[in-house]
Structure 1
Amino acid sequence: MDLIDRIGYFLTLFSEHLLISFLAMFIVSVFGVAIGIWVFYSAKAQRIIMPTVNFLYTIPSIAMFGLLIPIVGIGLQNALIVLVLYGLLPIVHSTYSGMKEVPYNLVDAAKGLGSTPLQLFRHIYFPLALPSILSGLRITTVMVIALTGLAALIGAGGLGQAIFRGLNTMNTSLIVTGSLGISLFAILGDKFVGTLEKKNNLQRIISRNALPSQKHFIYINLAVLAVLLVMSLAYINPFASAKERVITIASKPMSEQYILGEIMSQLIENETDIHVIRQFGIGGGTTNIHPALLSGDLDMYVEYTGTAWMNVLNQKSQLDFGQLQQQYQENYQLKWLGLLGMNNTYAIAIPESIAAQKQIKTYSDLVRHSGDFDFGAEFEFFERADAYPSLIKVYPFKFAKLHEMDISLRYKAIEEGKVNAIDAFTTDAQIEALNLQVLVDDKHFFPDYEAGIVIREAILQQYPALTKLLMQLEGEISTDKMRKMNYQLEVLKETPKAIAQEFLATLRNKHEQ
């Protein structure tokens, strides 16, 4: 029933994935073949281009997405650059290899008949290299469709968004649906290129020796692709936002961020005529969202005071909220619209049964028993200056083993017994669901992480009514309330949309009384 309710959501992701993949493949095909031809005819180009293409292919795709954010921002442009760069290698190689393997006796015979270099290319080299080019195109098609799934991490959309949302909210149906969707896309893409490759169909059409049945077979496939592209373009209508009053709301890849993003989105849509673009689940969190706000790619999101002080302003200690607001306004032209009321600070959690057995209540207690624990946390926790590197200076933990993992997997790891201590957030629903005990930070290491709305000043100047509207949320979402909403999402499997609707209805009733 959950998937049926989300049919519109999946149609959007399907359309985005198709358009991104097709656009990337079109660019790759044109430039990849052109570069392959250039490399074949130019020894100097070969010495430069081939090692460069090979080197780019060695860079992890996720890293490439992140490296491009300061240069081109997030979204479609970033995704296309990465997909094209990764797609070039097979196409360039297959084009170059196909032309190089053309039998020289055919070339020599054509030259003897007086063929010009252009005629040699049109009638000898390219037609005979075409099977090799199409073979490379099949490999590239599958690879690009799969990599398009990762583009969701930088807000480009596509079916990968369902996978990452499912991982971050522990929703298996989303993971399975997104994965199957990408697999189906890859299979269909491979089959489509296969129709061009089969029995040299495309080669025969180019050489004008194709049978009518071969022509019709290819034309039907091209017509189906064209219809799907037009329908996808019409469904998501990417040109509509240029004419509308629009605002883009982002979220980090966490359960509560999906909920809070949806609350803000629905509040704006219910009370104004502003169109909201949802860019939820941005990979890297603040690291990627903050620069995107500064560049204007995003307009607002929920941030935490501790993260703002330590990771954005690079301060070793926190000052009062007024000073935080002032520095954001002076340094970045961003405004904090109050605080929501919750403090989602870091914590360390262990199973209640182990805590009772070993009589561990505080971090200091855990230090004495740390050799008995395998500690798991997300990658960011081991890197942040306000997390593990500084934590072990205050509490000299000597865990038996450290496990770095995606933020969405640490509760799964403790549930399956792969670790028996994890980092947690005080609003996490799984604390209650898995009977975990949050230990007391007896030396008060972790700072406050109070949630608040950060928005570009330019947006408030454009839509001044937003200030009063969004300030309705100030102090309305306590830590306990947020934990319960996270529980609804992760354990009861309710959607962020439904949870946000329920919260806003309660808030509306409260204001009307």
Structure 2
Amino acid sequence: MPMLRLRSLLAVGLVMLLLAAGPFAAMAQSPIRVGSKNFTEQLVLGELILQALAAHGLPVENRLSLGGTAVVRQALETGEIDVYAEYTGTALLVHFSGYGLDVPREVWSNPETSTTLVREVDLERNGLAWLCPADANNTYAIAVRRHWAEENGVYTVADLAAYINGGGRVIFASNPEFIDRPDGLQAFEQTYGFSIPRGDVFVLAQGSYATAQALANGANGVNAAMVFGTDGTIAAFDLVVLDDPQGAMPIYQPAPVVRSEVLQAYPQLEEVLCQVFAHLDGRTLAELNAEVDVYGRQPAAVARDFLQRIGVTR
């Protein structure tokens, strides 16, 4: 048989094989595009996902640090990326805000019920699969310096409200999202009945490390700041996180969210990522974040060492 004809037959056979295997066969030839938002914990989680998948022989493409919440979510919904770590509370109160859902407090303040609802809604409406969440709550919080808390008797958000309503002035450090999002400062203000004039808000684009540092240093008169529940800077800067007794904030458990067609093309992806996220609790995430923010290590190196420690890589 002539060589040219043999090659033609082989090419036709390969095409027929791919068609018979369905659309997921072609997708399985493409890399899994891993995204993340642009703050410390997201970069660490993104590196954990990226490196764990690569260690198990799956093709990956680094799309980390795409931008803020809206940018990364849109990238997932439009297929620009295939997987990233999102927070359950963010989905319920931000991504699903236009769905007309009436989600009661007892649902979004409970890790089991909030995860169940997020999984059902996102899969049905958007074809997005939420995998196993980490046992951590990276909720928004308000922090103050320890000596300031002791001087003013402010240990809860209710105490802060009383301080402000009694004439005390708060200069607040925040990232842009916490000011704009309904589950941010607005939620605290509405729940506890206080208001911080936006002229007294010091907005820092760099994220929670910058807000915590501004608080610790008292930059521009800052005496309160937005932090995340798993920030490594809380202990490092000796900050006091104000209790939220009325539960203004939802549960924010991080979990890998993946496009369902990608999960079908790479079913082993779930087992790989669940192995990683099973080792993440609040204290562990805070330690990983501190490695970056406090000790200046790169997220990729922090993720590499952690994956080696838990036996995912060698």
Matches within 5 A, 1:209-358: 245-272=30-57, 274-285=58-69, 287-314=70-97, 315=101, 317=103, 318=108, 319-358=113-152
Choose the corresponding residue for 1:460, options 263, 281, 286: 263
Give 1:367's aligned amino acid. Answer: A
Choose the corresponding residue for 1:404, options 203, 207, 221: 203
Choose the corresponding residue for 1:440, options 236, 243, 268: 243
Once the two structures are TM-superposed, the CA of residue 507 in structure 1 deviates from its matched residue by 1.4
In 2: Cα distance, 1:393 partner to 1:496 partner: 36
In 2: Cα distance, 1:244 partner to 1:489 partner: 34
Give 1:445's aligned amino acid. Answer: A
CA contact (8 A) 1:310 1:316 kept: no
2:232 corresponds in structure 1 to: 429
Deviations 1:388-423 (A, max 9, x none): 223212112344622223142322322331211011
In 1: Cα distance, 2:203 partner to 2:295 partner: 27
In 2: Cα distance, 1:445 partner to 1:336 partner: 24
Q: Secondary structure at the match of 1:308?
A: helix
CA contact (8 A) 2:212 2:226 kept: no
Give 1:380's aligned amino acid. Answer: E
Q: TM-score, normalised by structure 1?
A: 0.50
Change (3 A) 1:265 1:324: same
Once the two structures are TM-superposed, the CA of residue 341 in structure 1 deviates from its matched residue by 1.6
CA contact (8 A) 2:172 2:202 kept: yes
In 2: Cα distance, 1:243 partner to 1:457 partner: 13
1:15 corresponds in structure 2 to: none
Matches within 5 A, 1:86-235: none
Q: Secondary structure at the match of 2:311?
A: helix
Q: Secondary structure at the match of 2:67?
A: coil
Q: Secondary structure at the match of 1:342?
A: coil
Identical pairs, percent: 29
Q: Which has the larger radius of gyration?
A: 1
Give 1:500's aligned amino acid. Answer: A
Matched, 1:380 2:177: yes
CA contact (8 A) 2:145 2:216 kept: no
1:203 corresponds in structure 2 to: none
Q: Secondary structure at the match of 1:281?
A: strand
Once the two structures are TM-superposed, the CA of residue 244 in structure 1 deviates from its matched residue by 5.5
CA contact (8 A) 1:377 1:407 kept: no
Matched, 1:389 2:193: no
Query: Gaps (5+ residues) in structure 2?
Result: 1-26
Deviations 1:412-463 (A, max 9, x none): 3223312110111011111112111001101111110011110001111111
Matched, 1:359 2:153: yes
In 1: Cα distance, 2:41 partner to 2:34 partner: 14
Q: TM-score, normalised by structure 2?
A: 0.80
Give 2:59's aligned amino acid. Answer: H
In 2: Cα distance, 1:346 partner to 1:428 partner: 10
Deviating above 6 A after TM superposition, structure 1's stretches of 4 or more consecutive aligned residues are none
2:300 corresponds in structure 1 to: 497
CA contact (8 A) 1:309 1:316 kept: no
Once the two structures are TM-superposed, the CA of residue 316 in structure 1 deviates from its matched residue by 5.4
Deviations 1:370-403 (A, max 9, x none): 2232112111111111222232121123446222
Q: Secondary structure at the match of 2:215?
A: helix
Give 2:214's aligned amino acid. Answer: A
Q: Secondary structure at the match of 1:341?
A: coil
Q: CA RMSD in A?
A: 2.1
Query: Gaps (5+ residues) in structure 1?
Result: 1-241
CA contact (8 A) 1:379 1:407 kept: no
1:477 corresponds in structure 2 to: 280
Change (3 A) 1:454 1:353: same
In 1: Cα distance, 2:50 partner to 2:92 partner: 26
In 1: Cα distance, 2:135 partner to 2:256 partner: 11
In 1: Cα distance, 2:217 partner to 2:277 partner: 38
CA contact (8 A) 2:48 2:276 kept: no
Give 2:173's aligned amino acid. Answer: G
Residues paired across the two proteins, number: 268
In 2: Cα distance, 1:284 partner to 1:485 partner: 21
Q: Which has the higher contact order (CA 8 A, sep 6+)?
A: 2
CA contact (8 A) 2:149 2:155 kept: yes
In 2: Cα distance, 1:307 partner to 1:407 partner: 19
Give 2:215's aligned amino acid. Answer: I
